[in-house]
Structure 1
Amino acid sequence: MAKDDRLYARFDIAMDEHPKIMLLSDAGFRALVEATLYSRRQLTDGFLAARIAERKWGRDVIDELTANDPERPSWHPHVKDGVDGYMIHDFAEHQTTNADIEAKREAGRRGGLAKAAKRGSTSLAPATDLLQQNASTTPSAPLAITETETETETETETEVPTSNEVGGGARNRGTRIPEPFIVDGAMRQWAAENTPGVDVDFTTAKFVDYWRAKSGKDAAKVNWRSAWNNWLRNDYQRLPQQKQSPAQRAASFVGTFGTNQVAIGGTEWT
């Protein structure tokens, strides 16, 4: 049977009997589990942006999870990279973090380099042996497998890119969305300048979930950064007028009535 390469979250089998968990409402318990799964999926290391949390679970649930224990509530207020939000209690102690993934990836890279060096130091084999070796060579495991408990040695490039900029490498082939898809400072600055009013975290979550659910050729992109830019532009175009900036509303207002005459409350102003 093929190895299950899906991502998982860890939960203590006695978690539901913990005093601070037993008293949670159904909505609170569900939000605690969903938030852990969301953070694993989005690789946020337990951080939940306030806007995402309020939109997904609501203010009442947030208040419940941040007050279900006087010293160690399930969530506690936290600021990450200037973004207000909440941190899941002891997330890094129980779940796989970005640092864990990078450590396994680096271990795999070192193992691949060591194998390559060992092959380079061996004597040349007969042509028939080389053909047999090439025929039995298997591709390296994707990133999802490198998150498992076993060490993975990689000899060739994985099909899952680690950068948002390009997908296909030297041959410029399309690939699936990167693991993880990271919104860096430059991308947030671009969004602030080009798509003001768009909720970057919420929109990115929709973007990532959409493309991870896709299969086949439709799920491959050559440049995921450009795809993300276009996704934000589309969301920006759907923003209602009241969510635009004052300057944008003014420009739209002038464009409607003309630059020389504006009617306000039945009175003409020229």
Structure 2
Amino acid sequence: MTFLTSPTERSTTRDHPRARDAQGAARRRNDADVRGTRLPATFDVTAEMEEWARRNTPDVAQSATDAFRDYWRARPDPEGRKADWLAAWRGWMRREQATIERQPGYRGPARQTAPIAAIRIPVEAMCRDHRGHRAATCGLCRSERIEAR
């Protein structure tokens, strides 16, 4: 510990160990904020996260979150740190959705295109002999008529 020998000397943090310790702790906290943290062991999907996923990534399954957890827990220390894990999870889910949408044959999320009432066929329009077929277009009745000739 250095003592002041004259009134013109300035006191510095080197002169006071407590001030130096406080500054070191603050610097370590700021470094952790800048460098980020590892994925918390208790990283679970909350209700808000589920709602966000339903709206923004409807085709992505729960297994994508499991893959996210496994990937980031397995990363080495410098690369396995993030400042905002929620933002990292949302980005992961968006990329998974984009991957699904790029696959051949993707037609988008399932949607009801016709009103339910239009799908139901009245009983009178159904074929009496062949369940599930319309009477006017029943191919089975038509083939039976052709065979009968």
TM-score (norm 1): 0.28
Q: TM-score, normalised by structure 2?
A: 0.48
Higher share in strand: 1
